[in-house]
Amino acid sequence: MDSNMERIYEDYIVIKAEENGVNIIGLTRGKDTKFHHTEKLDKGEVLIAQFTDNTSAIKIRGKARILSRHGEVYSGE
């Protein structure tokens, strides 16, 4: 694995729900993008997620605070 891919796989994002019912959806890597994993968070709950061989994208529905090495962003506003 090259060093760029290792750096991507080492990255984590932190998602903190700001309301009940925030949906986190993992999307697959490869030829066809598909849903492969879902989580539902209630207000105050935190999920720590990582990009992997299978996960190329993470979709967030609802009000949440998202932290990564790139900074902080809010969804659902």
Q: pLDDT tens digits for 19-42?
A: 999 999 988 877 777 778 899 999
Of 71 and 26, the one with more pLDDT: 71
Task: State the average pLDDT over residues 49-65.
Answer: 87
pLDDT at position 40 is 97
Q: Classify domain 3-75 at the CATH class level.
A: mainly beta
The reported pLDDT for the residue numbered 42 is 98
Helix/strand/coil for 42: coil
Tell me the pLDDT band of 56, cut-offs 50, 70 and 90.
confident
Find out whether 75 and 58 touch, Cβ atoms under 8 Å. Answer: no
Q: How far apart are CA 56 and CA 64, in angstroms?
A: 20
- Has this prediction a pTM greater than 0.85? no
Virtual torsion, Cα 28, 74, 44, 25, nearest 10 deg: -10
